[in-house]
Structure 1
Amino acid sequence: MRAQHEKKRYVASISPYTTSILHYRKPFVVAWWGAAFPGFGHFMLSKYLTAFILISWEVIINNLAHLNEAIFLSMLGKFDEAISVLDQRWIIIYVCMYVFSIWDSYRLTIEMNKHCTLAYHEGLPAMVKNTSSTEINVIDKKNPLLALLWSLLTPGLGNLYVTRVISVIFVLTWWLVITYEANVFPAIHLTMVGKFEEATNILVPQWLLFIPSIYCFAAYDSYVSAVEINNFVDRYLGRELKNKYQDRHFKMPI
């Protein structure tokens, strides 16, 4: 009873709606995604509430400060115009949030890696409740390339494939909002019919610059999630087979 009571560090939480796997991550990679789009680093760590706050803050404050528009003008060499469009009332508070997102995602990754080490030493304890009256989550291996492909076709579908429904809600909702506001799909239609100048003119740079980050992150996150779910399935099944079916006196080959 004592050993069971001491197992407080879980390596996975599996519900009908999401699969969260605790695994080793490189702090600099997580911090980089936090820099690419504040909140994405926390999103990778399954800190969904914190990620929602930071992502919402990024979109709202960035728009109020006209930061993406200023970046776009700077890329065209129009530095004076870039400075003039920035709203000084919002840009300073944006910088504080931006730095916090990078720092906190880096710090949390280090702490979670420590937690992960202890959880593995405790025998891979997992919280599993994968059925409900509305949904079921079958714990099986996923094809990482399929997860990547679906995410490239439509961000969010890869996460749906690996049963991370909370991630789907985040990614797909913001993808729809951002592409709508940026006029991406009308621009694609105009491009397909050869009206390139019109397609360029209707794009909204302030919203358009959000797209590379969210598009690439959705693909990366779904691929990594599929790989780590497969690793967890291998370790979990290996543990169960060893504990329940392997003779205790069996000597493993050296």
Structure 2
Amino acid sequence: MTITQIHAKNPWITAFFSFSFPGFGNFLLHRYAKAFVLTAWEVFVNTHARVNLGIMYSLQGQFEKAKQVLAIEWLLLYVAIYVYGIWDGYRSSVDINKLYLLAEREDAPIKPYTMNAWGYNYLDKREPIMAAVWSFLMPGLGHIYLHKVIAGFFIFAGTIGLVYLSHLPHSLYYTCTGEFAAAKSVLNMQWTLYLPSIYIFIAYDSYVSAVEYNKLHDKEMVQFLRRSYQRPGFEMPV
């Protein structure tokens, strides 16, 4: 159902995406169970605490209105999980980088093909730009293109729900017809403010995943050629 791998990552990038949206750091690390839980918790608690509305009013300089709109009883539940997501993303990246170095030195085997009753999956070359473009047009499609089926459908379904609740299609319609006041008034900003983080992360993750899958494909090919055709006593000239 997917291609899971470990590769070297900058822990600060993982922490940054965990900061922008709890759970995204674990998506980068291919730890999907934890990513789904943290992402669902972020949407649930953020919506009840009305954090996005507080952020919007704060950016507009309406600090009193921001304080009034926040639900303190939910906000206090939000903080611990939010900080944990950032800490766990950084810590996990450091540990996975160590595992990656061990796998490199031990020349760990790579499985290039699998097939079962659900279908088949195999390593091949993918276009990183194409993955990013599909993700930008509709989050989830880039991951499905990369055969990250479970993550792709989770992102796809989640984005459809957020777009529907934010009334973004209505706003785009009014914008195209020149009714800008109606376009602003129809938007539900609590739900709309989820979308920028999602679009930026999904495009980045699909692009990086395609690049790393291509490296994994080349590495598997090198392993096959060396084990099948290289003499055991061959010494590399460099």
Equivalent position of 2:132 in the other structure: 148
1:51 to 35, 38, 44: 35
Aligned to 1:34: 18
Aligned counterpart, 1:89: 73
1:137 is aligned to: 121
- Structure-1 separation of matches of 2:49 and 2:112: 44
3-state SS in 1 of match to 2:216: helix
Determine if contact 1:124/1:236 at 8 Å carries over to the other structure: no
Aligned residue type for 1:218: I
Structure 1 range deviating more: 72-81 or 118-127:
118-127
In the alignment, what sits opposite 2:87?
A: 103
Match of 1:201 in 2: 185
Structure 2 counterpart SS, 1:21: coil
The percent identity for this pair of structures is 39
The residue identity in structure 1 corresponding to 2:142 is G
Match of 1:62 in 2: 46
Deviation at 1:249, TM superposition (A): 3.6
1:172-229 Cα deviation digits (max 9, x unpaired)? 1211111111111111111111111111100011011100011111100100000000
Among 217, 227, 232, the alignment partner of 1:233 is 217
Q: State the AA in 2 paired with 1:93.
A: L
Alpha carbons 2:113, 2:122 under 8 Å: kept = no
Q: Quick one: structure 1 residues 100 and 148, their matched pair in 2 at CA, closer, same or farther if it must change by over 3 Å?
A: same
Matches of 1:217 and 1:85, distance apart in 2: 27
1:177 is matched with 161
Q: CA deviation at 1:129?
A: 5.6
Offset at 1:115? Answer: 0.8
Instruction: Say which structure, 1 or 2, has more relative contact order (CA 8 Å, 6+ apart).
Output: 1
2:165–2:188 CA contact under 8 A, matched in 1: yes
Q: State the secondary structure of the residue aligned to 2:115.
A: coil
Tell me how far apart the structure 2 counterparts of residues 128 and 99 of structure 1 sit (CA, whole Å): 38
Distance 2:174 2:116 in 1: 45
Report if aligned partners of 1:183, 1:202 keep a CA contact under 8 Å in 2.
yes
Which residue of the partner structure matches residue 3 of structure 2? Answer: 19
CA distance in 2, matches of 1:124, 1:185: 48
- Tell me, which stretches of 5 or more residues in structure 2 are unaligned? none
TM-score, with structure 2 as normaliser: 0.96
